[in-house]
Each structure stands twice: as C-alpha cells, then as structure tokens.
Amino acid sequence: MNDYLRESMSYFGIYKKLAGAKKTLTPERVSFGRHKDQYFLYYEPKTLCSDKVIVWVHGGGWNAGSPDYFDFVGQCIAGAGYRFVSLGYRLSPANKYPRQIIDVCRGYKAAMEHLREKGIDTSRVIVSGPSAGAHLSSILCYSKAFQKKLDVDVSNVIGYIGVGGPYCFSEKTGLTLKLLLDQLFRRDYDRRKGEPVSLMGKSNIPMLLIQSRHDGLMDYACAESFCRRAEELGNSCELYEVEDEKNTHSWYTAGCFLFTREENRTLDKFFSWIEAL
C-alpha cells in the first residue's frame, strides 16, 4: 500500500491507542506570554532516574497540536523517570513564522528559569521534537542567528533528537508539506531564514535524527541532507532508520510514546541514546 495512504489510515489506530493511555501524573502549567498557546507543561516524575531534563517541542504541522494534546508523551517520558518540559507555541496560519521559533526560544528560557527557581539542576538538557517540532527545536539548538537575536543560551544542551523533521525544504517536498509551508510563511518571506539546513552552524551538541523510509509525508532524503550538512560543519550526527512495522509519520513521530520500549524499537532508541549521553 502507498505510504501516504498508510499514514492517512494510521490515525484510527493511534486514536484507539490514545483511548487506553493511562494518566498517572498531573503536570504544572506555566504561561510565558499572553497568547493561549504560549505556555509549557512541566512533569515531575514520581521516581527520578536521572538528572537529565528533556525539553520537547510538539508537532502538528505548525497549525495544530498543543502540550495538552500530547500529554501522553509527558506521561511516558516522566513515567520513565525524567523531568520533562513540553513547550507550546502560536500556531499558523493565523501566526506566521518566525512567531513559532520566537515562542520556542522564549519558552525555553522561561522553562529553564522556572526549573532553576525550583532548585532543579538544568546543566544537562536534551532537546527533542517530532515533525514541525523537529523543525523548530533544531533551529533552537543549531541557529546561532536566532540564539543571538533572542538571547537564548543553549550551552546546557547536551543532546538533540529530531524525529521526522522537515529540515530541508528543497528535498522532494510533497503536497502536504508544501501546503503546510505555504500556511506557515508569508508569501514574500525568504524561507531560507526558516530552513534548519540553511541556519545550522558549528555546534558541540550531538544530534540523533530518527527517520523512516516509509514516512508517507516526509522524504528520507530530508534527514540525509540535514545529517550531511551537520557532518560538513563537524557536528556529531547519527541518522537512525525506523525499523518498526508501524513506520508511517504519525506512528513513529509521536505514536511511539504509546508503547513500551520492549514493544517499540524507535522508543527504545530514543531512551537508549539519552542514557548513553
């Protein structure tokens, strides 16, 4: 079956899986702006297994999603013993880029300040995001221009995990991604200013890119181009190909958090890479 059709049909299975997801933790909600989407959720695990903090930027095509909607991700990661922050941002098409990356940078700063006020060590942070969240979180970590412009310090980030991200706009852009990008950017906007592969600079932050050859929405070459650019700059990058049978975009970018590590190799790779840092 065509991977695009498999991706379209995957939503029924994901919603069914979501219906059975358990909620054992109540996150703390913190606003960092006046808009309803400018907030983050903080999850404190019942049993802490690590001093590493994981910051996650949700996906949803830049026009949908929220930290509340992706609560199951926080339940999974905090349930595994990690302090977890889920960042929100203003959505397109009502809000054009760069408002999204401005919110992610400001939200990251606010989250770090909030944790430090709690007496929590923020010196070992892993930043991650799926799909549109991979686009935004990669710019947060690797764009010197935005870091300088928005006065955001990522020197405490010890690792980055991007999952199914649109890092390069020129690589076989499918119709769905093209329509989403048209909603995200103003018609006259230079898209290179929002393209991770164009914005990436030299960095000491090691990178794991998780990508499927059967994504259905995002071509594998997109991650290959980003990885190649990282290597050209001397940045550490590992490109991991999804091996699970549920390998279309929604299943592996977010749906993997509805499984256990024993059931899902993508989720196991996510945690094992963090453990090795």
The domain spanning residue 96 has which CATH number?
3.40.50.1820
Distance of alpha carbon 259 from alpha carbon 264, whole angstroms: 6
Tokens matching residue 99:
């408002």
Kind of pairing, strands 83-87 and 39-43? antiparallel
Task: Decide: pTM greater than 0.95.
Answer: yes
Counting the structural domains of the chain, the total is 1
Across the chain, which has 277 residues, the per-10-residue mean pLDDT values are 88 91 95 98 97 98 98 98 98 98 98 98 98 98 97 98 94 82 96 97 98 95 96 98 97 97 98 98
Return the DSSP state at 164.
S
Q: Which domain holds residue 261?
A: 3-276
- Which residue in the block uniquely carries the two structure tokens 């190909």? 241
Res 1: pLDDT: 60
